[in-house]
Amino acid sequence: MTKHYDIALIGGGASGLSLLYAMHLQGVLGDYRILVLEPEAKNDNDRTWCFWTDKSDPAWQMFSSTISKSWKHNFSASKPKENMAPYQYVQIRSKDFYAFVKDVLGEYPKIEYRTEKVKQVKQGPNLQLICDSESQFSASLVFDSRPPRLEDPELIWQSFVGYRIKSPQNQFDTEVCRLMDFAVPQKNGLQFMYWLPTSVDEGLVEFTRFGDEILNEKESKPIIENYLKALGIEEWEILEKEINKIPMTLSLNSKFSYHPKSANYIPIGVRAGAVKASTGFAFKNIMDHSWEIAKALKRNEALPLPRQSAKHNYYDELLLNLFQKRDSPILKIFIRLFEKHPIDRILRFLDEKSSFREDFLIMYKMPWKPFFWSIGRSLLK
């Protein structure tokens, strides 16, 4: 007989576990019989999440105790030590996040974890979950965080090759991080480096590309090496690698704010369109969404989709168009953004929390011609 649950989560990663933790904080987790289906043990540091925070967001409020390093200053070519106040840039290692949430969830005997990979979800009044192992379960409500299938022919990816390094030189300035440092060769899209010194002798260096061709380690390695040498770092060993990609697309976003009250299949995480299309950042949006879902469950209200801003989706669309343009002006646009504006304004804009005045200031100082081209392209689509 198929075992039935009130709620099933497909995937126990960032969105699945944060949803359970948000339900715990909202005091509703004990109300349900819950099944988590996840093929991996989730004991390793399979990724490092970074985001900026002014401490008002659910990501900070739920997970500040798992933050392993924060930076108050950013380096850019025009501003070598810019204070990011009221923001700081913070890092959570996924290993700490998984352990923290699982520890709390251990208090709930009605949550069952199974090492299973779901291959099919069959719709009906109760959803049927069929796993690769042929095990079957059913649930009244399903949250699905499997990676989405993407069919957008113009898909842009944020791809990256990152090394966590340790150097015997003991010299890193741990006060200042480097977000989007464009002092790297440009090829096949927009390329930049992150440098996040986590201690005087350890740091994460990550070479990143926004483009349709995916970065590989072979082409990234010499660029990372040259970058580290330019920072004065001559010797290092690699402790961890982070090589992956994130889709930068609006095709997963919905125009609706809520699911119908009767909906029993709810995508979450990247699958629900939580990635900000123009930056690839998703963690904060995912935490927001989890918090709002947990609140809605508590109040027995319709479940929300990830927060949307039609205005900012349109800005993202204009930027994504520019990646497709021959001789793309995207590098010039990003450099100008960092040169002409205080970083807190940029971060608020990327958080979709900027005022119309701030949006105007940002637009006013952009090179206009490419945006007219982009508006035209959008109109013709």
Ligand X SMILES: Cc1cc2nc3c(=O)[nH]c(=O)nc-3n(C[C@H](O)[C@H](O)[C@H](O)COP(=O)(O)OP(=O)(O)OC[C@H]3O[C@@H](n4cnc5c(N)ncnc54)[C@H](O)[C@@H]3O)c2cc1C
What SS3 class is residue 105?
helix
Helices (H), the chain: 14-25, 58-63, 94-105, 217-230, 283-299, 310-324, 330-340, 343-350, 356-364, 368-380
The C-alpha atoms of residue 82 and residue 60 are separated, in whole angstroms, by: 22
List, as one string, the DSSP characters of 209-229: EEESSPP-HHHHHHHHHHHHH
Residue number with CB closer to ligand X (49 or 371)? 49
Min. distance of Cβ 100 from ligand X in angstroms?
A: 15
Q: Which is nearer to ligand X, 17 or 319 (CB)?
A: 17
The CB-of-129 to ligand X minimum distance in angstroms stands at 9
- CA 335/CA 78 separation, integer angstroms: 9
Q: 201 with 172: CB under 8 angstroms? A: yes
**SS3 state of residue 34:** strand
Q: Closest CB to ligand X among 15 and 321?
A: 15
Q: CB nearer to ligand X: give 14 or 84.
A: 14
User: Closest separation between CB of residue 188 and ligand X, Å?
Assistant: 20
Sheet holding 67-71, edge to edge: 48-53, 88-93, 67-71
Q: Which residues contact 14 (CB under 8 A, 6 or more apart)?
A: 49, 94, 97, 145, 269, 282, 283, 286
Query: CB of residue 36 vs ligand X: minimum separation in angstroms?
Result: 9
8 or 228: CB nearest ligand X: 8
Q: How far is the CB of 19 from ligand X (least distance, A)?
A: 9
The nearer residue to ligand X, 270 or 319, going by C-beta atoms, is 270
Helix 356-364 / helix 343-350 crossing angle, nearest 10 deg? 110
CA dist list (Å): 67 to 88, 93, 150:
12, 8, 32
CA–CA distance, 120 with 140 (Å, rounded to integer)? 16
What one-letter code names the amino acid at 19? L
Interface with ligand X (CB under 6 A): 10-16, 37-40, 47, 49-51, 117-118, 145-147, 242, 244, 246, 269-270, 281-283, 286
C-alpha–C-alpha distance, residues 2 and 165, integer Å: 48
Closest to ligand X by CB, 37 vs 343, is 37
- Amino acid identity, residue 278? S
Q: In this complex, which beta carbon is closest to ligand X, that of residue 44 or of residue 234?
A: 44
The least distance separating ligand X from the CB of residue 314, rounded to whole angstroms, comes to 21
Closest distance to ligand X from the beta carbon of 9 (Å): 9
The nearer residue to ligand X, 18 or 374, going by C-beta atoms, is: 18
Least spacing, CB of residue 289 vs ligand X, in Å = 10
How many whole angstroms from its chain centre is CA 353?
A: 17
Backbone CA torsion sign across 36, 38, 41, 46: negative
Nearest distance, CB of residue 215 and ligand X, angstroms: 12
